[in-house]
Amino acid sequence: MQLAFSTLLLFVFAAIVAAQPPTNNCVVPHTANADDSPAIMEVFTRCNVNSTITFKAGVEYNAWSPMKWFNLTNVKIELKGALHLPTNVTDVQAKVNATYGVARPLMVTFNVATGTISKLKMIKPVAHGIRLTGTNIVVTKHYVDAKPANGSRDSPVGFPFNTDGFNVGGTNITIDGYYGNNGDDCVSIINGAKNVVAKNGYCGFSSHGLSIGSLGSNGQNSQVSNILFENWVMDGAVYGARFKSWTGGNGLAANITWKNMVLLNVSTPIFITQNYYDQGKGPRPNNTAGTSTHIANFHFENFSGYLNPSWTDGTCISDPCWNYVEGIDNTKAVIFDLYNGTATGLQVKNVHVKPYKKRYEDTTVICDPATLAPGAQDTLGFKCWNGPYVATRIAS
């Protein structure tokens, strides 16, 4: 099944997928030079149970209005043609606000109980791609092309801001096979995510990595657990593996693994901050609440490759940059910006990365040993300090 989207608007799926094959066949009609959204809505309303809904091959549909597809049971969607969506970001935002209230645009919310997405292509999205908030979802062979024709990784001109591939907040979700040129996270794990596997992927252009968060905004109690990222190539990314929670957050992120990562021109391979804030609004605020989103059992294993000459990218449009931390440069393989005593079970193993056109011995880290939990250095796997990367024995 070939699924091809171009640009972006917001679709909401709410469905239960049963085991038996659909028995009803429905074809979506198309009207040239007109908005097909009303016709699409009519078909999804009429064929919401035990149906195959087909977008015809060779037809370029116009989905110019936001849509909600609710109460789908045992429905298969075959997008053999293409869906063209609005490209003007201002117009898209206005339509989203008018339909759903003020919200950041994204193309699809996939809130289903047992569902699959296969061979979906998203070409030149203007904002977030797909949010997975349901249960028992499998995604295979996903493709995203947000790379601008008139820009580069290090220039804000034409940069595809906020073009995440997936935001995942559901349970029992597998993403197997991803090829993307993104201007933001390829996969972002958000509050509520549990038992997620994202494997066998390529993250290109200027991705902001395979990320947990952001969590804990405005003191939110965020819960994320049992997440595995495995077998990824990160090419030109700002981050490889990233965790971010806001200053003064609450909750717990536990049992997270990034494993078998090939890093090509990556600015910072491993990054954790429990003190995230918006640099565009001024200096880091005081953590008056004295709280943090706790982290437990984060494992980073088998990282290889080399760093980018630049520690940031075209999204650096503020002063300081949104990803600036004191001491950052183009030699940092690991940056741990921890909140005192709230990070346990951190482990870094088999990391072999070097700065661009330099030696492995030139690789450095940022890590304040005073922020480690008691005994954490014994199992960390590298020397926590602001200095060269030094691998250490992991105590059993």
- Residue 142 falls in the annotated catalytic set: no
Cβ–Cβ < 8 Å for 352, 382 = no
Torsion angle defined by CA atoms of residues 110, 244, 185 and 170, in that order, rounded to the nearest 10 degrees:
-20
CA dihedral 171, 197, 247, 291 (to 10 degrees): 60
Instruction: Say if CB 244 and CB 184 are below 8 A apart.
Output: no
Handedness of CA 362, 365, 369, 373 (dihedral sign): negative
Catalytic residue among 36, 184, 185, 313: 184
Who contacts 78 (Cβ-Cβ below 8 Å, separation ≥6)?
Answer: 1, 52, 53, 54, 55
- To the query of whether residue 294 is one of the catalytic residues in this protein, the response is no
ω into residue 320 within 30 of 0, thus cis?
yes
241 close to 209: Cβ distance less than 8 angstroms: yes
Assess contact for 56 and 33: CB atoms under 8 A.
Answer: no
Which of 128, 145, 164, 208 is an active site residue? 208
Q: Which helix (H) or strand (E) holds 377?
A: helix 377-380
Q: Is 289 exposed, middle or buried (0-12, 13-18, 19+ CB in 10 A)?
A: exposed
Q: Which residues are catalytic?
A: 184, 208
